[in-house]
Amino acid sequence: YDKVKMEDIVSLCKRRGIIFPSSEIYNGFAGFFDYGPLGSELKKNVKDAFWTNFVQCREDIVGIDSSIVHNPTTWKSSGHLDGFSDPMVDCKETKLRYRADQLFCSPVVLEECGTTVGFVCVLEANDADMKKAAKTQAKKLLRENDRKGEKIQAFEFTDLTQVSEETMAQIPSPGSGKPTLTMPRDFNLMFQTNVGAMQDGSSVAYLRPETAQGIFINFKNVLGTSR
């Protein structure tokens, strides 16, 4: 399974009529898919099984289906507007995007003289896997600098939200293997839209980023009608 690519899975699902790339006749839209004949049935069966088990078979649970757009004050009160973002870095060569707090870098320092020959950059994982990936990169870095076989100091990992612009210019991207990463930028995870004919500050709204908010804001209504 390690050699299976996402493109292979999407191709199989398309041939079986499970999902199709959305807007495919217009070159598609990355990250969006349409359910095909089998996919629609599969999705309905999963939803029906979930609803039967968790709603219809229990007396202490009732169902609601809230609007996908709420008053923006909802997201201000819940803290989403102020804190629902992730620090991201982009690889300028491969166009891949990574969470800055899930990428860790470390200088490669020679044990004998204390010289820094470069940096390694690995994805967040357990300590053993991170050190293993870093050692592989460090060996390559030593060969490129004619330092093959020399001992290095222990890795000191720091996530990319903590590095300076000068250091970032030396950190290799996981995608390209070269220092092609941008500085971290806050990436807003909420999907902004406008409600109404006019597009100004008063018409700004957001697609629901959290399903549970519909439960919270309708609790009083549900309590009054279902007790």
Q: Is 196 exposed, middle or buried (0-12, 13-18, 19+ CB in 10 A)?
A: exposed
Percentage of residues of the chain with pLDDT beyond 70:
100
pLDDT confidence bin for 192, thresholds 50/70/90? confident
pLDDT confidence bin for 37, thresholds 50/70/90? very high
pLDDT of 1 above 70: no
Distance CA 89, CA 174 (A): 11
Chain segment 149-183, per-residue pLDDT in tens: 889 999 999 999 999 999 999 999 998 889 999 99
Q: What is the pTM of this model?
A: 0.59
Q: At CB < 8 A and 24+ separation, what contacts does 60-64 make?
A: 62/222, 62/226, 64/214, 64/215, 64/218, 64/222
Across the chain, what does the average pLDDT equal? 90
Asked if residue 217 lies in contact with residue 74, where contact means CB atoms within 8 angstroms, the answer is: yes
**Of 65, 99, 88, which Cα lies nearest the Cα of 208?**
65
Asked if residue 188 lies in contact with residue 56, where contact means CB atoms within 8 angstroms, the answer is: no
Which whole-number Å values give the CA distances from 9 to 1, 13, 25, 68, in the listed order? 11, 6, 20, 30
